[in-house]
Amino acid sequence: IAQYMATVARNGLQQKAVPTKKAVPRPAAKASKKEAPKAKVDKRLFLRLEKEHPWRQLSPAGLWQQLQSEPDCFLSDACSIPRVRTGFAILTGNEKKREELLDAAPKFSDFGAKLEGASNLVPFRIANVPATIKTPDCTHTVNADWVSLEIYRKT
């Protein structure tokens, strides 16, 4: 053994102490065909309130109780009411409950509130429009036709 150890010490150990596996090249995975993401449909109902409306001071639970006390506007336990900038959003558990609330929407006008579904409008950024444009020759007044032509040209 001593002679063997001396040989190993001189020449180095031919085998590694811990065997390692060589990396086996794997075949490239086939690219999975992903479906195009579907546009999300916003199913929230928005309770729009005036800036000084007394319901704005209520918490979502307080608003839920206020709406429960109304005879035609009952909410199920599956509803959630998060606060949004313009008032509150109402998320219903099913489509039937959503339709019932939308049918009762005109009754909210008695309380100074407006219940409506989410809009599908897309916001655009439009730069500020000056009243007049001064050129070296003269001053041009900006009107609606000029603005619409400018928007058409830019988009």
Between residues 140 and 35, which one has the greater pLDDT? 140
**Which residues touch 75 (CB under 8 Å, ≥6 apart)?**
64, 67, 68, 81, 90, 92, 97, 101
Residue 149 is assigned to a structural domain of this protein: no
Tell me 18's DSSP state.
S
Centre a 10 Å sphere on the Cβ of residue 144 and count the other Cβ atoms it contains: 8
Q: pLDDT class for 43, splitting at 50, 70, 90? A: confident
Half-sphere exposure of 111 (CA within 13 A, CB side): 21
**What CA dihedral angle connects 119, 125, 128 and 131, to 10 degrees?**
-60
Between residues 35 and 150, which one has the greater pLDDT? 150
Residue 75 is assigned to a structural domain of this protein: yes
Residue 92 is assigned to a structural domain of this protein: yes
Mean pLDDT throughout 61-90? 79
Residue 57 is assigned to a structural domain of this protein: yes
Residue 146 is assigned to a structural domain of this protein: no
Q: pLDDT class for 9, splitting at 50, 70, 90? A: low
In a 10 Å sphere around its CB, with 0-12 CB exposed, 13-18 middle and 19+ buried, how is residue 88 labelled?
Answer: buried
How many domains does one find in the chain?
Answer: 1
Q: How far is the first Cα of the chain from the last one, in angstroms, to the nearest whole number?
A: 86
Residue 52 is assigned to a structural domain of this protein: yes
Tens digit of each residue's pLDDT (9 = 90 or more) over 129-141: 788 888 888 888 8
Tens digit of each residue's pLDDT (9 = 90 or more) over 10-20: 666 666 666 66
Question: Sign of the CA dihedral 138, 142, 146, 152?
Answer: positive
Question: Which residues constitute the domain of residue 66?
Answer: 45-117
Residue 141 is assigned to a structural domain of this protein: no
What percent of the chain is modeled with pLDDT above 90? 1
Whole-number pLDDT of residue 101: 84
Least confident of 22-36, 60-74, 108-122: 22-36
Q: Which amino acid is residue 50, in one-letter code?
A: E
Residue 93 is assigned to a structural domain of this protein: yes
- Could you give the maximum distance between any two Cα atoms of the chain, in Å? 106
